[in-house]
Structure formats: C-alpha cells, structure tokens
Amino acid sequence: MKYKEIHEDISSELKNHMEEKIEEYIEQGLSEEAAIDKTLNHMGDPLIIGKQLHKTHKPRTEWGLLTAVTVFVLVGIAAMYSLGVSNSLNYYSPFELLVDKLVAVAFGVSLAVFFYFFDYRRLEPVGRYLFLFTVIVMAGVIMFGRPVNGRPVLHLGMARIDFMSASPYLLLISLAGIFSGWNWGGAGATVKALVLFAAPVLLLVPTQSFYAVTLYLIVFLALALTDRPGRSQAIKLLIGTLAIAGAAIFLMFTFFAPNAAERFISFLHPYEDLEGAGYQIVQSLEAMRSAGLWGHGLGSGLQQVPGIDTNMVFTYMVYSLGWIYGGMLIVAASFFVARLVTVATRVHDRFGSLLVTGSAAMFAVQFFWNILMTLGFTPLDDATMPFVSHGGSQLVSQMVVAGLALSVYRRKDIIKTTQIINDN
C-alpha cells in the first residue's frame, strides 16, 4: 500500500476484522491459538491483499477538471496580457494586469495543490464554525471596510482583500459541512435552515449586488435539496428562501441602490437608453457583432466597453479572437460544469458529494450568467468569469474550491477493506 494517508484506517479495519473472526472461531469451540491460526489463514496471502488494496485505494486524478481549470487560467493570463499591450484600460500600466494575474495564479495554484493533497473530510466538522466566521467577517467588512468601486473591501496593511467576493466560496464549504450532518427530521430543521440562508443574504444587501444574492440562493438550494429533505420541507424551504431573497432585493433597490433597479432591467430594452443604463450592454453587443469568426487579433484595443477586465472579459475575448474562440470558451465552461456534476454523482461520501454539487451549481451560475450578460440575456451585474477575469481574491477562492473538488475525486474509491479480504 503506497497510499500512506490511508494506512491507519486500513490497519484499524484489519485489526477489527481479525478480532471479530477470532471471537467467531472461539465461539465455535476452537482454542484461542487455533482461532488465531485459522484467522490468519482466512486473511489470505498478504502480498496479494496488499496489491489489491493498493489498486483499490490508489488516488485518482480527474484529468478533465484539471485540464479545464488549466485552460481557463491560461485564457485569463492571455486576456490580461492582451489588455495590457492594447492600452484599453488607461488606469492600469501596460503590464500591471498581467503581473496581478500571475501573482494571483501563483498563490492560487499553490493553494489548489495543497487542498488537492489535503484530506477534505477534515473540513466537515468545522463547517458551523467556518460559517460563523464568514458571517462575522462579512458584517465587519460592511461596518469597517473601505469602499472600492462601491463595494466594501477589507484592508490588512498593504493587502486589499475583497472578502465579500470570496465569501460565497467559504459559505459553500461551510454549508456542505453543516448539511452533511443535518437532521431534517429534527425539531425546527426547516426554520434553522432558513436562518442559515437569511444571515448571509441580509449582509449582501449593502453590496448592491442582485447577482450575489441570486448566486447564494441557487447554491444554498442545490446543497439543501440535494440533502433530500422531505417533500413538505422542500416546499417550505423553497418558498422561504425565495421570500427572503425577494425581501433582500427589495431592501437593496429601495434603500441602498434606488437607481440600480433601472440598471437591473436595462437588459430587457438596452437600446432605449443608449447613453445611460443600456450603454454597457449595447457597446458589448456591438463589439462582439464586429468580431466575426476570427476577431480583430490578440492585443486589439477596446475602450468603448467598461469592465472588459472583469465582468465583460468575455466580450473582449470574442472581440479579439472571434466567435470561434468564444464558442470554444462556452464549450469548455459546459464541459467543466458537466465534469463537476459527474464527480458529484460518483462520490459516496455525503460531505464530498455536497461539496462538489455546490461547486457545480456555483460555477454554472458564474460562467453562464457572465456569458449571457455580455449578450444581453441576463441583468448587468458584477458577474465575472471564473479563473479568467481580473480579481485576485476571487481567483484564489476559485482555485481553492477546484483543489477541493479534485481532492474529493482523489479519495472517491476508499471502500471497506473487509470486502477485499472476503473476496479472497
């Protein structure tokens, strides 16, 4: 057995199995010494058992997921390089975006590798504490954070951390741990689940992001409903979460961003307000319409569309490299989400399955909201493209989640040792 991480578990299970067999033979009338000898004979050839255990427990790598993440990261690096050399963003120096991206990629890859080898199951017991920590820090950032582009940001010395953008990933991990041990038959289980939903949603109201509330709503429902509550509980949960999300959006548009409602519905009729709420969508559509199949070339300038390094990065990539390239990105995003769903169905560990299911829901919303937004099919908001857009906090968080998904797949074939022994 070369997989040292599971040696202790296998040793413990083998010991328990041997003790059970010895007791069984003693009850049949054998002496303790004879029972031990017969148990050892029952165990079979240690070399054969060792080889079979190694084959069964050998760590696996989900090469499809790994390849997709690598492709997206490389696309993001290329996009930031192209934006730099084109001088499309005057508020950045030529290679500032590229350097920021490379630093975030280096840090993110390091964390992804760490969590790939890390036993993700150790996070399950700390789910409730991680949830509490995330909610407390979110509240602290709202109260004491400094606004950057209208969003509160956490400042730690020279470091600037967009914790509100990273919080959905922390909430995903914590909720997967909480729901893996959730007793839907317990008193007030549905009400307690709604409290878990309401607390972060209300804290997202001051961020003025309809997208952030929707993202958390979909991820929460994916986790909760995958955990298979009863039918009546599922209906109550669905109604309750929608009501809370609706109330949060009402508060957002009424008290924190009264002008955001106009921007929110601008995607329905962008050409009616070309100089106002519809400007960004119209410019995005016109830029992609001019791209053709092959685009204007890497390094092409595009100054008419705001946010081409963040939420409109898909627009810029299509403008630069054409719809052939854009179509390949859509296929890659679909493949990535599909692989996550496949992994979730193949994992037998409850926490691991919930973790990957939530990840699939989150990345699906992020990828396709971003793409559809640039095409004018979803509301304009701060929906960035995972792994590609500029933003260190989000990229690092996404790499951590990707590393955990790979870690879940790596350990999916850990099965009962006694099954192998009995087959021999």
Report pLDDT digits (tens) over 366-392. 999 999 999 999 998 889 999 999 999
What is d(CA 63, CA 116) in angstroms, rounded to the nearest whole number? 13
pLDDT digits (tens, 9 = 90+) for 172-183: 999 999 999 999
Residue 266 vs residue 190, higher pLDDT: 190
Q: Give the span between the Cα atoms of 312 and 296, in whole angstroms.
A: 17
Residues 50, 38: Cα–Cα separation, whole Å: 19
The pLDDT of residue 21 is 83
The owner of tokens 């109604």 is 239
Q: Where are the domains of the chain?
A: 4-58, 63-410
| 373/207: higher pLDDT | 373
DSSP state of 156: E
* Contact assessment for residue 14 and residue 417, using Cβ atoms and an 8 Å cutoff: yes
If we measure between CA atoms, which residue out of 345, 376, 417 comes closest to residue 62? 345
